[in-house]
Every structure is written in C-alpha cells, then in structure tokens.
Amino acid sequence: MSNSFYPDNFFYDEYKQTVYDNLFVGIVYGEGQESAVAIPVSELVPCITGVYIVLYVASVHILLKPDFTSSRPRMFMFGITTVMFALGVITLVLRNVLEFQDIQYFLGTTSANTWSFDRIFVVMLVDGTMARLMYILSDIVCAWRAVVLWNRDKRVIAILLLLILGTTAAAGCELGLNLVPPSGPISFQPQSNGPLIMVGPTLATNLVSTGLIAWKAWQHRVSVRKHLGEGTGSVRVDRVFALLIESGFLYCCLWVVYLISALDMIPPPGFIVMDDILVLISGLYPTLIIIFVAMQKSPVEHYLTYSTPMQFARGPVLAPPRASGDVPLYVYKTCRENASNSNKQVPSVMRTSDEERSL
C-alpha cells in the first residue's frame, strides 16, 4: 500500500486501516473496487470546537451576571458547563496527539516504537475516560432539567437516577474492556467494538428525559389555556419547551447515527468522525440550552432558576409586581380582566418570585 494520502490502488479492507479514514470521509463504490471519492472533513472538528468555545464564553457571561450569581441552580449550571468544557479540551488535545503520531507512522517518518506501548495505552485510556465523563455529565444535565420541571417528583428522580447509574455502569464496562491490551498491531484510532455498550443506556436516559419534558410541556399548555387563555406569555413558554424537546430528540438522533457508524453500516470513516464530533456536541448541547433558557423572560426561567415549577394557588388577586423579577405583568392583567368580566374571585394566580425564593 502506498504511503500517500491518495493511494492509486487500495481495497476496502486496507482502506479501513489507514489514517486516511480519519482525514477524509470516503465513499467507496463497492468492496474491492479501486476508486473512491474523498470529501475533506479536516475542518469539521475545528469548526465545532470554535462554536463550542464561543457558546461557553457566552454562557459564562450570562451565568455570572451579578443578579444571577446568588442563584444556586445557576452556579450549578456554571460549574457543570465549565467541567464539561475542560474535559472537551483535554479530549481534543489527547486525540490530536494520537493523530499526529499516527500520521507520522503512516507517512513512514517514524516507527511504531517511537512511543512506547505503555505511553500510547495510557493516553488512549485517559482519552476514553474523559469522553465517557462528558457523556455522563450531559445525561445528568438533561435529567436535571426534567427533574426540575417535574418539581422533584420522587418517581421521576428514581427512574432517571437508575438510568444514569446504568450509563455509568456501562461506561465502567467499556473502560474495563479497554484495559485489556490488544493482541494485534498497535492502533492509534478508536475502535468501533467497545462503545456499543454505552449507547443503549445513554439513549434511554435522553429519550426518557426528553419524553418527560414533552409531557410536562403538554400539561403546562393545558393548564395555561384553562386559566389564562391564549396569550403572548403562553407562546413564549411554548417556544422554550419546544427548544428543549426538539434539541433533546436531535441529540438522541446523533446517538443513533453514532450507533449505526459503530456497526460499520456506513463507510468506515463515519465512526471515527462521529467519535470526535459527539464528544464536542455532548458538551455543546447542554451549554446551548442553558444559554437559551437563561435568556428567556418567561415562567420557564423560574423553573430552571429557582428549581421549582409554576404552581397555582387559591387566593385574592395579588398587588402589582414590585420588582422586575416578580411575576410577569401580563399574568396580573389577564387575571384582573377575567375577574372583572365574571365578577368572581380569580380562580388561580401564580406565586411571586419572593415566594419562590422562600421555598
């Protein structure tokens, strides 16, 4: 096989074993044929990395505002996004080191013994550990959103906790398999036989969490229509819920594509590319959601800010809000209009932010 990024003749089995897989997405026209079309993807990972950096800086700017730093949930979000960003940077650096070593070996400028096997093994083990921690933390963020929206329902907590423990156990099994030294030649690239263990629990966690959020969104929509009717505030809340639901299912779809690529159902470069991309997206996805939710001026923000959902209580109409952080003014206007039209006591009102903070 020629030591070139564009070999004149190569077969499908040989094609899978080269660094060419990691630098290009190849579309092979049938096994054993001697032609291929290569689409460069070397810029894909740096582009996603750049987007991730911008989003992380934006999240830090939003979450560390003076009026937000007193909120424990927001400080929790800041802490977990920072940890995930650090893990993503470490993983990216380690994989670049391994790829550089692989390219040198492929071009014939160095030998496989330039790095000792122990050093390569440790770097790959640390890389795998960091990536799996990213996946687990991303699952925790998604599950936490569902728990908050469900007002810390014990049944929801129990279900999601079991799923996260299952994901953690699967990650431990994968790392245990990686501790077994390979019997064949040294490979610097990720293999597609191990990550299948973690895909199932991770998919289940995200699907259940997203499904719970969708269920709560439907309940909220029914409640708002019953008590307040259609309004601008309801539309804005629905948009935030739609963002949470759609992004959750999109993230699940990426895991399905990752599973398909790991089963070699698409050209071999697919798994290596997805393995690099998914690590970054697992950190980018919760960071993006945190930014969008933090920027919303709607009752959904109360869900994630004070860790308690909107609730309705019997009682007289409250006085107009004293500060910008209290219940949105449109809620009071709607309640007063309903009361004046029916000459009855307002059926339900929302708690003020002062009451929320006291919970």
Tell me what percent of the residues of the chain surpass a pLDDT of 90. 10
Q: Examine the domain organization and report whether 58 and 152 are in the same domain.
A: yes
pLDDT of residue 46: 79
Q: What range does the domain containing 6 cover? A: 1-41
- Classified as helix, coil or strand, 349 is strand
CA distance 271 to 269: 6
- Same domain assignment for residues 98 and 13: no
Distance CA 27, CA 217 (A): 42
pLDDT in tens, 293-347: 666 543 444 444 444 444 444 544 445 544 444 444 444 444 445 445 544 444 4
Same domain, 67 and 144: yes
The pLDDT of residue 34 is 35
Residues of the chain short of pLDDT 50, as ranges, are: 1-40, 112, 184-193, 297-313, 315-318, 321-336, 338-339, 342-359
Assess whether 213 and 82 both reside in one domain: yes
Q: What is the CA radius of gyration of the chain?
A: 25
Question: Could you tell me if 302 and 335 lie in one domain?
Answer: no
Let me know whether 8 and 114 are in one domain: no
CATH number at residue 217: 1.20.1070
Do 263 and 339 have their domain in common?
A: no
Q: 10 Å Cβ neighbour count for 67?
A: 9
135 with 117, same domain?
yes
345 close to 316: Cβ distance less than 8 angstroms: yes
Q: Domain check: are 146 and 34 in the same one?
A: no
Which amino acid belongs to residue 283? G
In this prediction, residue 155 carries a pLDDT of 92
Predicted confidence at residue 229, as pLDDT, reads 61
* pLDDT at residue 204, as a whole number: 92
120, 259: one domain: yes
**CA–CA distance from 355 to each of 325, 352, 359 (Å)?**
11, 5, 7
3 state DSSP class of 25: strand
Judge if 259 and 318 occupy the same domain.
no
111-160 pLDDT, tens digit per residue, is 545 556 667 777 888 888 888 899 999 999 888 888 888 888 899 999 99
Number of domains, the chain:
3
Residues 322 and 254 in one domain: no
Q: Which residues of 246-267 are buried (b: 16+ CB within 10 A; e: fewer)?
A: ebbeebbebbeebbebbeeebb
